[in-house]
Copies of this chain bind each other. A is one copy, B any other.
Amino acid sequence: MSTNGDRSRGTTIFDVARLAGVSHQTVSRVLNDLPNVRPATRERVEQAIRQLRYVPSQAARALVTRRSRTIGLVATGLPDYGPASYVLTVNESARDAGYAVITTTLADAAGPSLRSAAELLIRQNVEAIVLIAAERVALDAFDGWELGVPLVVVSGEPRGRAVRVGLDQYRAARAAVSHLLELGHTDIRHVAGPVGSIDGEERLRGWRDRLQESGLTPTEALRGDWTPASGYELGAALAETGAEAVFVANDQMALGVLHALQTAGRRVPEDVSVIGFDDIPEAAHFSPPLTTVRQDFVAIGRDAMAAVLALLQDEEGTRLPAPREPPLIIRGSTRAV
A285-B55 in contact (CB<8A): no
Inter-chain CA distance A287–B228, complex, in Å, is: 12
A255-B285 in contact (CB<8A): yes
Task: Please give the number of chain A residues whose Cβ is less than 8 angstroms from any Cβ of chain B in the complex.
Answer: 64
- Asked if A103 is at the interface (CB within 8 A of a chain B CB), the reply is yes
- Among the 9-residue stretches A61-69, A151-159, A181-189, the one with 4 or more Cβ atoms under 8 Å from chain B is A61-69
- Among the 9-residue stretches A18-26, A38-46, A118-126, A205-213, the one with 4 or more Cβ atoms under 8 Å from chain B is A118-126
B229-A285 in contact (CB<8A): yes
- Which residues on B sit within 8 Å (CB–CB) of A229? 281, 284-285
- Asked if A216 is at the interface (CB within 8 A of a chain B CB), the reply is no
Q: When A87-B87, A91-B103, A120-B100 are in contact, do A285 and B59 touch as well, CB less than 8 Å?
A: no
- Give the copy number: 2
Inter-chain CA distance A286–B105, complex, in Å, is: 28
A59-B63 in contact (CB<8A): yes
Q: When A84-B79, A228-B285 are in contact, do A55 and B122 touch as well, CB less than 8 Å?
A: yes
Inter-chain CA distance A80–B282, complex, in Å, is: 11
- Asked if A174 is at the interface (CB within 8 A of a chain B CB), the reply is no
Contact with B along A57-89 (1 / 0, CB 8 A): 111101100101010010000111101110110
Q: Enumerate 24 A-B pairs (CB-CB under 8 Å) in ascending A order.
A: A8-B148, A9-B148, A55-B125, A58-B59, A58-B125, A59-B60, A70-B124, A78-B87, A79-B84, A88-B105, A88-B107, A91-B104, A92-B107, A95-B117, A101-B102, A101-B103, A101-B104, A227-B281, A228-B281, A228-B284, A229-B285, A255-B282, A259-B286, A287-B287
The 9 closest A-B pairs by CB, nearest first: A79-B84, A59-B62, A84-B84, A228-B285, A59-B63, A91-B105, A259-B285, A78-B88, A79-B85
